Amino acid sequence: MNHIGTIKIYDSTKQVLNDVQLWSDKETSKLPNIASCSSISWIKYAEIPLYLTTALPFAIYSNDPATSDYFRKNLLELPLSNNRTDLGILCKADTDTYFVFYYEYETVKMIVIAFTEFNKLLPHLNGKSHPTSNTVVDLSKPVRARTSTVLIDKIIEKKKQRLNPFITTTPMITTNAPTKVDNSLILSSQEQINAAINKIILSGLRMRGLSQNLVTSHNDKLTIKEIHQMTFKAAQFALRKQNYSFNKKSETKKLLRLNDLQDIVESLLQLFVDVE
């Protein structure tokens, strides 16, 4: 993996997200000369045309706890709680450049949308071809057609109502509105719980830039493995409180949901890894 650059994100709530690191497997990948961007909307990232993207997606890592927590909540927890896995965060970098952050294959990724080259092609795409001259001359008196203002008004009104096909018109995620519970987010068997714990730990470590594929030191690899095992065992131990006989609430066993498990693992990683 090659470190391409680091940027900042200015959230719509005036929160500044620091240490947003961009990594790529390709040595030739380059980031536009942009140091920051501002989030403006949710976007269906899978429907973005490929001809608007400038390169393969970048992998995103961060050592900033606030940045990691922001991506975890906005790209993982909120979409899952609303049964949406196709949404990303659209950020504006400059007039013709946009960044899209999304979560895929247990990794936060980013693609670059650039309208610069596309705008250069528009005159050629919309230009009219010049017809060849007609050798037959029509000497009849031309009849002047009357312009229909009603038709023009309809065209103008339709243009005003035309929507951006890339940006969702209504907020797809609302934190205050009640959400429908998805049974797929309920973990019932021990195998499901163990698999979920393992995936959440790996995701949390990657968000902190801790991956055995990124480090070269043998000691660092052992440390990451030790953190993983320690967090895994601690998460399992934390779930045992539901079965304690002295816990009165254990009489009515609470269903274990993915969000609850994510909170437990994230708290453990903050305890074991993060330094304030």
Q: 50-83: per-residue pLDDT in tens? A: 777 877 889 999 999 999 999 988 888 888 888 8
Chosen domain end from 117, 148, 167 = 117
Q: 186-206: per-residue pLDDT in tens? A: 777 888 888 888 888 888 888
Cβ–Cβ under 8 Å, residues 55 and 47: no
- Rounded to whole angstroms, how far apart are CA atoms 217 and 63? 18
Q: Are residues 195 and 94 in the same domain?
A: no
How many domains does the chain fold into? Answer: 2
Q: Cα Rg for the chain, rounded, in angstroms?
A: 26
Q: 148-182: per-residue pLDDT in tens? A: 456 556 656 665 555 545 444 444 444 444 444 45
Chosen domain end from 102, 117, 132 = 117
Supply the range of the domain harboring residue 231. 190-245+254-274
**Mean pLDDT score across all residues of the chain:** 75
Q: Are residues 197 and 90 in the same domain?
A: no
Give the list of residues 6+ apart from residue 180 with CB closer than 8 angstroms, or none: 83
Does some domain include residue 165? Answer: no
Does some domain include residue 87? Answer: yes
Does some domain include residue 175? Answer: no
CA 162 to chain centre: 25
Question: Which helix (H) or strand (E) covers residue 40, if one does?
Answer: strand 36-44
Which sign does the torsion angle of CA 165, 78, 103, 257 carry?
negative
Q: 217-275: per-residue pLDDT in tens? A: 888 888 888 888 899 988 888 888 766 666 665 455 667 788 888 888 888 888 888 77
Does some domain include residue 222? Answer: yes
The β-bridge relationship of strands 2-10 and 36-44 is parallel
Chosen domain end from 88, 117, 146 = 117
Q: Are residues 113 and 6 in the same domain?
A: yes
Does some domain include residue 34? Answer: yes
Q: Amino acid identity of 76? A: L
Cβ–Cβ under 8 Å, residues 219 and 213: no
Tell me the C-alpha to C-alpha distance, in Å, between residue 172 and each of 179, 210, 260: 12, 32, 23
Domain CATH for 108: 2.40.290
What angle do the packed helices 258-272 and 65-72 form, to 10 degrees? Answer: 170
